[in-house]
Amino acid sequence: MGNRTSTRASGRFSTTFRQFLMFGIVGGSGTLVNLLVVYLSKKIGEWGWGISEHDVFMNLFGTDYNIRWFNIFMTIAFIVANTWNYQLNRSWTFRGYTQRSWWRGFFPFLLTGIGAFLVSQIVATLLMNPTSPVGLPTDIFDDSTGLRTKFYWASAISIIVAMPVNFIINKLWAFKGSSKKVVVVSEQAPV
């Protein structure tokens, strides 16, 4: 009995680990999509309207705090990448799970993503703020070239920070359901 229980636990761990790796691959592709949209949003803002990611988009209700254009560019990138990730996770990572309709599954995934997105917004804001104790140094990230653009690095770092929490919440909520059963065959010695 004990051997069967440990084999099931091992099978569940193996399945979860495999899903985590697949989720990571999807997340990696989503990160590339996200960064591409961040880049395009930034460039379109610059070329079309002369907007910098550092410019103020909106003041927060008369306070000293502002929503900046980098927050808006990250929001656009999040929506595109979140939709990308949902579809890939639905059709690949969690394909053995009982599926809800696309829209009914998307909203929990989106809500989960919003939680991770808020974490990434906080991290990016801290990295972008020159007065923050964890702000990226402006002498290195001076926006002189693509690889020295503070916004690109802040976006990438913030995505990486949010990924593990995003996986756990998605596994337990957005893709919750009965998974494929792990069939364990054990050989027993004849009596």
pLDDT number for residue 165: 73
Strand-pair partners of 56: 68
Question: For residue 129, is it within any domain?
Answer: yes
Mean pLDDT of 57-82: 94
Enter the pTM of the model: 0.77
Backbone φ/ψ region at 60: left (φ over 0), alpha (ψ -120 to 50), beta:
beta
Q: Tens digits of per-residue pLDDT, 143-184?
A: 999 899 999 999 999 988 887 777 777 777 767 764 544 444
- Please list, in sequence order, all residues whose beta carbon lies within 8 angstroms of the beta carbon of residue 92, skipping any fewer than 6 positions away: 22, 26
How many domains does the chain divide into? 1
Question: For residue 182, is it within any domain?
Answer: no
Question: For residue 56, is it within any domain?
Answer: yes
pLDDT number for residue 37: 98
Residue 116 pLDDT level (bands cut at 50, 70, 90): confident
Question: For residue 60, is it within any domain?
Answer: yes
Kindly report the average pLDDT of the chain as a whole number. 85
Domain boundaries, position 17: 2-174
Q: Considering the chain, what percentage of its residues have pLDDT values greater than 70? A: 88
Question: For residue 180, is it within any domain?
Answer: no
Question: For residue 181, is it within any domain?
Answer: no
Question: For residue 119, is it within any domain?
Answer: yes
Residue 1 pLDDT level (bands cut at 50, 70, 90): low
